[in-house]
Amino acid sequence: MERGFPESNRSREEPKLRKIDVFTHIWPQPYFDALQKVIGPMSNMPRRVAAIPMITDMDRRFEVMDMFGEDYCQILSLAAPPLEEHGTPEQALELSRIASDAMAEICQKYPDRFPGFIASAPVSNPDKVVDECRRAVEELGACALQVYTNVNDKPLDLPEFAPFWDYAAEADIPVFLHPHRTADFPDYQTEDKSNYEIWWTFGWPYETSVTMSRLVFSKTFDRLPNL
């Protein structure tokens, strides 16, 4: 998004250009606290994420952002794990609420730095997911929704997830599809886990391709053409 305006506009007057990083992860402090309560000692991906100072430390984030110049800003979204991976559907909903509240607050406080955020949809909670997405979008101003390529190993084209897609289409809002796979998904059926980090170097793009294919062939996009 470095060049936000078509070439034809350029000749007349120079608009203010901004570098908008549309996919920048964060764990706001209230969310980080709540996440730690749900998952306990961190291992695997959460531990890797927590080791990145900018994820939890706002001062460090501003330092890093300044390296990219004054016109640089970020759209915020949560880092892995998926909300649903370590807790109950109720906990996933609570984590979603805490995260959206916190990201909205950061955006309000620093609108030039953070012009928007992506709400994490609590898709493991089918009774509440639409209400919470609606709250995040219509009350808090979320500009997109985030889901992962599987919901506790289930594909996103199952009927139980249809209300989420329906809402995203109704709200006419982008959905960010984040890859999700851990080393527990083996690459060979004679093995128990994936070796050499293949589960994400190749497994994540594979997950994304599979999920998009499933949404196409399950006719989710036929049903919701503006998704």
Regarding 213 and contact with its own copies (CB under 8 A), the answer is yes
Regarding 126 and contact with its own copies (CB under 8 A), the answer is no
Among 89, 126, 155, 163, binds its own copies (CB under 8 A): 155
Q: How far apart are CA 106 and CA 197, in angstroms?
A: 34
Query: What are the two backbone dihedrals, phi and then psi, of residue 28, each rounded to the nearest 5 degrees?
Result: -60, 150
Q: How far apart are CA 60 and CA 56, in angstroms?
A: 9
* Contact window for its own copies (CB under 8 A) among 53-61, 117-125, 160-168, 208-216: 208-216
Angle formed by the axes of helices 29-39 and 89-109, nearest 10°? 160
Assign 3-class secondary structure to 98-157: HHHHHHHHHHHHCCCCCCEEEEECCCCCCCCHHHHHHHHHHHCCCCEEEEECCECCECCC
Regarding 198 and contact with its own copies (CB under 8 A), the answer is yes
Q: How far apart are CA 56 and CA 28, in angstroms?
A: 6
Regarding 222 and contact with its own copies (CB under 8 A), the answer is no
Regarding 9 and contact with its own copies (CB under 8 A), the answer is no
CB of 126 to its own copies, least distance (A): 15
Residues in region 97-116 near its own copies by CB under 8 A: none
Q: How far apart are CA 127 and CA 101, in angstroms?
A: 20
Residues in region 58-87 near its own copies by CB under 8 A: none
Residue type, 4: G
Tokens at residue 73, please? 């800003």
Among 98, 210, 224, 227, binds its own copies (CB under 8 A): 210
Measured from the CB atom, the residue of 1 and 158 that comes closer to its own copies is 158
Regarding 202 and contact with its own copies (CB under 8 A), the answer is yes
Regarding 221 and contact with its own copies (CB under 8 A), the answer is no
Regarding 201 and contact with its own copies (CB under 8 A), the answer is yes
Residues in region 158-187 near its own copies by CB under 8 A: 185, 187
The secondary structure of 61-93 as a DSSP string is: HHHHHHHT-TTEEEEEEEPSSPTTSSS-HHHHH
Contacting positions for its own copies (CB under 8 A): 150, 152-155, 185, 187-191, 195-196, 198, 201-203, 206, 209-210, 213-214, 217
